[in-house]
Structure 1
Amino acid sequence: MLKKGWLIVLSLMMVVVVACSTNNNEGSSPSASPSASSPAPSEPGASPSESATTPAASDKPLPKVAFVYIGVPGDGGWTFQHDLGRKMLEEELGIKATVVDSVPEGPDAERVFEDLAKDNDIIIGTSFGYMDSMVAVAARHPDKIFLHNTGYKTADNLGTYMGREYQSGYLTGITAGKMTKNNKIGYVAAFPIPEVVYTINAFTLGAQSVNPDVEVSVVWSNTWYDPAVERQAAVSLLDTGVDVLAAYQDSPASIQAAAERNVWGIGNDSDMGHFAPDTYLTNPVWNWGPYYVDVVKQVMDGTWKTGSYWGAMSTGITDIAPFGKNVPKDVQDLVEATRKELKADNFEVFKGPIVDADGKVRAEEGKTLTDEEVLAMNWFVKGVKGTIPQ
């Protein structure tokens, strides 16, 4: 279970705190012998830490790559999208990767990473909670490359990567703001960490940009993938009369509950339209494949450098899913106009004036919050109803 305070390590490098937490398999003990599965391009503003490069690979065989998942590809969300990225890597580079799924955080994770480091050249971990395990194993295997999704600790042979999903969150907020009739929107939040908080804030700012009267009510599930708990949280919001419901978890439980009440739903991570076709709006999606292809190519040609990568929508790492069949054309066009600006790096989500839920000015007119301020966000913007547990 992720219990992280708001004191975040922020240096010149970009810090990304995302989190993939435990799932229903948390108590399981994955096999220590993983089985084979059936670049970060330079980001404007990124500040890599002291770098290390791998030897040129022109005369070497293809690198052996291993992925460690917190869940299973069948979750339909976070892990599913990473697995699509793994498949793209295999198809484009001819690499057959090793996959170990359902790996809980803690001692089991460190054991799995240690075993993988013996037989693989590049080891990729896709959960925030793997961070300390990966740091420890990377220190023992300085000749191997480790890539950690959502963490903030780096080393000469350990880099981190993430995308600016708050940009896609802003777009889904615009959609919600146009589709609500009573200005009451619900949001089933995962864990009270900055990555979730700033995405909720971006969603709210997006909704307010087209509908200043909206209110976004937040309920925390403290899960990443627990359909029963997430459904219960969704129902608690639906009972208050919200007519649009968004969710941050990997499962479609919330939008399915919304569909049963004929309420518009917004999912997360992967296109969830098929779970609630009549009431689905859209949702943020991940596209990890291009990053995986680019970063492995860099390792192969000896140009890889450690650091923290935080890709914008312009890189393609994050976007929104296709709109549901009942989203009006004028709403789609409105969202698409801002999407084009984001993809061209011509739009700032966190640009003032921004006022928090307590009335404090967080960004004056014309001022844009810095990456460090966004990554340390532990407050809600005005219009969000709910608290952030400490």
Structure 2
Amino acid sequence: MKRRTMLKSGTIAAAVLAMGLPALAQDEPLKVGFIYVGPVGDGGWTYQHDLARQAVEAEYGDRVETSFIESVPEGADAERALTQLALAGNKLIFATSFGFMDATINVAQRFPDVKFEHATGYKTAENVSTYDARFYEGRAVIGTMAGRMTETNKIGYIGSFPIPEVIQGINSAYIHAKKVNPDVEMRVVWVYSWFDPAKEADAAAALIAEGVDVFMQHTDSTAPLAKAQEAGVLGFGQASDMSNFAPNPRVASIIDHWDPYYIRRVGQVLDGTWESQSVWLGIGDGEVVIGEITDAVPAEVKAEAEALRDQIAAGDYHPFTGPLKKQDGSDWLAEGQVASDQELAGMNFYVEGITAAMPN
């Protein structure tokens, strides 16, 4: 099996290209590159993407050679990292954070023979695909557990950036907590970072100080769970299982299971069938997984959460089904009406009942 590499410089690869040397022989491995917004050891989002990279290696062996660049800030640094991967001969590159979107499009224009996959974005090109997960489906399940298990009737949410993906999760968690506990309130704290353990821990502490005894997160580190452990409150694993904190404070988790998608798309490059596409996959597709629900959750609450999970997976229930109003009291979805993907992709409002102010 080809050992993966962590790229530091594209200088040699650039020189090779400049010399006009012949293309790789057909029996040479397909080079697949990844850029990560956090470190592979974050225990959450990036860790889960890197597990999928390893799954690609395990699936295809010597037919592929993977490399990655970790802790890449969103913006100009992302463009440099993507260029480095392209110059190094990678013919398929996964850009694994929303903020890499414009950089991916820009670099793809300069390297039309390279195929790019961008996670959670919405801009495509002939050589750029997008892939996303319906995280809000998992939030509905853990929101149900949060609503049942809070004793203070105050649940919390640590948000990264106020983009539709994150706002969907906040709304979905609140809607389903409210369904099982009409007295529940939600507090929201924004950290404006995907991975910043210190800020995430501070956000958790702020929620706990407000009386929150169960909280969720859409950030990448395990720092909030560590703070929950100190304070004796409950939390949920984010992106990966975070089972080191089970059975308490981590009582369940939302797992981003990227392996099947990555394996499928690499295979399509290998067999010549890859085409640009946009996909949004969820629980029913096996891309969003609810991790083990621990014994800290009462049996009846666990059964209720699992039943909701199964309904969503079967397509029998959509987490955004009316009647629902927006935070300002205006009508959004009528009785039985289901939100369209287009509406969800542009979500920029809280639902009725959340009292937090929406950031600009």
CA contact (8 A) 1:71 1:103 kept: yes
Q: Secondary structure at the match of 2:216?
A: strand
TM-fit CA distance, 1:259: 2.0
Q: State the Cα deviation string for residues 115-164 of structure 1 (Å, max 9, x = none).
A: 22131111111122222221121111111111111111111011111110
Q: State the Cα deviation string for residues 331-369 of structure 1 (Å, max 9, x = none).
A: 111111111111222211111001122211110101111
CA contact (8 A) 1:32 1:112 kept: no
Partner of 2:129: 159
Between the aligned partners of 2:121 and 2:35, the Cα distance in structure 1 is 14
* Distance change (3 Å), C-alpha of 1:332 and 1:324: same
1:334 aligns with 2:301: no
Letter in 1 for 2:359: P
1:357 aligns with 2:327: yes
1:263 aligns with 2:240: no
**Aligned with 2:10 (options 7, 30, 33):** 33
Partner of 1:135: 105
Which structure has more RCO (C-alpha within 8 Å, separation ≥ 6)? 1
* Distance change (3 Å), C-alpha of 1:326 and 1:291: same
Partner of 1:65: 32
Q: Secondary structure at the match of 1:120?
A: coil
Partner of 1:77: 44
- List alignment gaps of at least 5 residues for structure 1: 1-29, 36-58
Partner of 2:20: none
Between the aligned partners of 1:88 and 1:214, the Cα distance in structure 2 is 41
TM-fit CA distance, 1:108: 2.7
Between the aligned partners of 2:189 and 2:67, the Cα distance in structure 1 is 37
Q: Secondary structure at the match of 2:320?
A: coil
Between the aligned partners of 1:212 and 1:321, the Cα distance in structure 2 is 26
CA contact (8 A) 2:246 2:294 kept: no
Q: State the Cα deviation string for residues 162-191 of structure 1 (Å, max 9, x = none).
A: 110100011000110111123111111111
Q: Secondary structure at the match of 1:182?
A: coil
After superposition, the CA RMSD in angstroms is 1.8
Partner of 1:370: 340
CA contact (8 A) 2:85 2:93 kept: yes
Partner of 2:78: 109
Letter in 2 for 1:280: R
Between the aligned partners of 2:77 and 2:177, the Cα distance in structure 1 is 42
1:232 aligns with 2:209: no
1:96 aligns with 2:65: yes
TM-fit CA distance, 1:62: 4.0
Q: Bigger CA drift: 114-123 or 84-93? A: 114-123
CA contact (8 A) 1:77 1:250 kept: yes
1:307 aligns with 2:277: yes
Partner of 2:54: 87
* Distance change (3 Å), C-alpha of 1:60 and 1:354: farther
Q: State the Cα deviation string for residues 285-339 of structure 1 (Å, max 9, x = none).
A: 1011100001111222222221211112111111222123311221111111111
Letter in 2 for 1:70: V
Letter in 2 for 1:367: Q
**Aligned with 1:171 (options 141, 150, 154):** 141
Partner of 1:7: none
Instruction: Using the aligned pairs only, state the percent identity.
Output: 43
TM-fit CA distance, 1:33: 3.2
Between the aligned partners of 2:157 and 2:104, the Cα distance in structure 1 is 32
Please give the residue correspondences for 1:240-251 in structure 2 after superposition, counting only pairs within 5 Å.
240-251=210-221
CA contact (8 A) 1:124 1:147 kept: yes
Between the aligned partners of 1:108 and 1:136, the Cα distance in structure 2 is 13
Partner of 2:252: 282
* Distance change (3 Å), C-alpha of 1:166 and 1:73: same
CA contact (8 A) 2:75 2:103 kept: yes
Between the aligned partners of 1:342 and 1:100, the Cα distance in structure 2 is 35
Partner of 2:21: none
Q: State the Cα deviation string for residues 61-120 of structure 1 (Å, max 9, x = none).
A: 542111111111100000000001001111011123111112222333222212221311
Partner of 2:3: none
TM-score by length of 1: 0.83
CA contact (8 A) 1:134 1:148 kept: yes
Q: Bigger CA drift: 239-248 or 109-118? A: 109-118
Between the aligned partners of 1:234 and 1:170, the Cα distance in structure 2 is 21
- List alignment gaps of at least 5 residues for structure 2: 1-6, 13-25
TM-fit CA distance, 1:279: 2.3
Structure with greater helix share of residues? 2
Letter in 2 for 1:148: H
CA contact (8 A) 1:201 1:381 kept: yes
Partner of 1:124: 94
CA contact (8 A) 1:246 1:255 kept: no
Between the aligned partners of 1:265 and 1:70, the Cα distance in structure 2 is 23
Between the aligned partners of 1:111 and 1:242, the Cα distance in structure 2 is 42
CA contact (8 A) 1:175 1:281 kept: no
